[in-house]
């Protein structure tokens, strides 16, 4: 029996070669799962998306959504892009400039054969889901970047795609618009059942949106796994570089997130509901190190055990394990050599990492979160 659209797993096994570059990737994405593809420039992220969407034909490969085969080079099967049922949200909204937001969103259902009234009803429903119902009559020229991306997301989903591709969807937004759209994507993706592939350079996108992470280096998978596990103990040099923030997992509460040792307080960076998975995010440079837990202070204090000390220019990065929520995240603190000497720090020592609440940002977490 054929699986319904949006409820089938995706399997991709593709390989191609170009001048000086080769892509060889095998991956699966379950229904409702979001897989983030990370990697340096030139790693093959965009080429992978182009192969999945049908814009690039691999030299060898097979792509299937459940029992529906899109590509099988051994049997000369290669569905064109317009027949693959792919929804795409890219950096730029790419809305039709002379159509209203409502008609932009209705375009997909109309192209699939829906009547005008039905297509407009679908479009109205999706605009409401992305908090853009009041923009229905506006043309793209009157929309801000964040508003245009909301409409573009509605358009991608209104066509009921079998596979959703997100290609750096927040990269072109300013620092005020990006968190709001990231929070919206978190809510929308959590409630849908189609497989989703997200290409991003931003570790927060992976933390908030992705269930799993796949890291590409030179066209091949360098590491992959649950978001929390990959970012907690990165094996590839690129992953270690981008996982430069402390990401502490927990459960959202009114004042921050609950961990195994109490509550970490911080500012709400993106909308998060109490009781759902969340992450406290802070930079290693924001951490102070103490031998004893400071008292009478509004600061957050985490008991950790030092795992290593690494010279980094003018500072020394301390890496430490903290037992929180049944996890064992590795946290980092950047301190001066003088502080290390004054405290007499060495691997194996138990100390406290202390950070002000104003330096902590609270984000929702999709596939779990973790630290550098």
The domains of the chain are located at 10-230, 247-364
pLDDT at 105: 97
Q: In what order do the strands lie in the sheet with 277-282?
A: 262-265, 256-259, 246-253, 277-282, 361-364, 267-268
Q: What is the total residue count of the chain? A: 372
Coil vs helix vs strand at 98: coil
Q: Which of the residues in the chain have pLDDT under 70?
A: 1-6, 232-235, 237, 240, 261, 296-298, 323-329, 367-372
Mind listing the pLDDT tens digit for each residue in 201-227?
Answer: 888 899 889 999 999 999 999 889 998
Mind listing the pLDDT tens digit for each residue in 100-119?
Answer: 999 999 999 999 899 999 99
pLDDT at 296: 65
Name the pairing type of β-strands 34-38 and 300-312.
Answer: unpaired
pLDDT at 297: 64
pLDDT at 4: 43
The architecture of the domain spanning 10-230 is 3-Layer(aba) Sandwich (3.40)
Tell me 324's DSSP state: B
Determine what percent of the chain is predicted with pLDDT higher than 70: 92
CA distance 111 to 321: 53
pLDDT at 276: 87
pLDDT at 240: 67
H-state helical runs in the chain = 45-53, 101-111, 116-129, 145-158, 177-190, 203-209, 227-232, 237-242, 337-343
The CATH number of 247-364, from 3.40.50.970, 2.40.50.100, 3.40.50.2300, 3.30.230.70, is: 2.40.50.100
- Read off the pTM: 0.79
């Amino acid at each position: 029996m054929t699986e319904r659209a949006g409820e089938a797993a995706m399997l991709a096994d593709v390989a191609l070669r170009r001048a000086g570059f080769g892509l060889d990737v095998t991956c699966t994405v379950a229904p409702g799962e979001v897989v983030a593809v990370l990697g340096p420039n030139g790693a093959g992220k965009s080429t992978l998306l182009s192969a999945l969407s049908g814009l690039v034909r691999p030299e060898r490969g097979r792509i299937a959504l459940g029992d529906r085969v899109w590509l099988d080079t051994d049997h000369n099967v290669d569905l064109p892009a317009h027949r693959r049922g792919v929804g795409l949200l890219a950096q730029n909204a790419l809305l039709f400039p002379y159509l209203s937001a409502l008609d932009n969103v209705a375009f997909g259902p109309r192209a699939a054969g829906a009547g005008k009234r039905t297509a407009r009803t679908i479009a109205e429903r999706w605009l409401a889901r992305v908090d853009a119902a009041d923009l229905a009559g506006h043309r793209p020229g009157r929309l801000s970047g964040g508003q245009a991306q909301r409409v573009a997301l509605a358009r991608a989903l209104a066509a009921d795609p079998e596979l959703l591709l997100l290609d750096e969807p927040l990269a072109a937004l300013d620092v005020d618009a990006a968190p709001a759209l990231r929070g919206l994507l978190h809510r929308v993706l959590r409630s849908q059942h189609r497989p989703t592939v997200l290409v991003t350079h931003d570790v927060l996108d992976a933390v908030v949106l992705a269930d799993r992470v796949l890291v590409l280096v030179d066209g091949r998978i360098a590491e992959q796994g649950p978001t929390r596990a990959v970012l907690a103990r990165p094996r590839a040099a690129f992953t270690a570089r981008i996982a430069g923030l402390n990401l502490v997992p927990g459960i959202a509460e009114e004042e921050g997130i609950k961990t195994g040792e109490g509550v970490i307080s911080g500012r709400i960076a993106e909308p998060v509901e109490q009781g759902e998975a969340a992450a406290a995010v802070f930079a290693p440079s924001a951490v102070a190190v103490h031998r004893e837990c400071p008292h009478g202070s509004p600061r957050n204090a985490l008991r950790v055990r030092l795992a290593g000390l690494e010279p980094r220019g003018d500072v020394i990065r301390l890496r430490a394990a903290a037992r929180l929520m049944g996890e064992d995240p590795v946290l980092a603190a950047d301190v001066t050599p003088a502080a290390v000497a004054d405290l007499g720090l060495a691997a194996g020592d138990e100390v406290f990492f202390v950070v002000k609440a104003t330096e902590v940002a609270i984000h929702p977490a999709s596939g779990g979160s973790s630290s550098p």
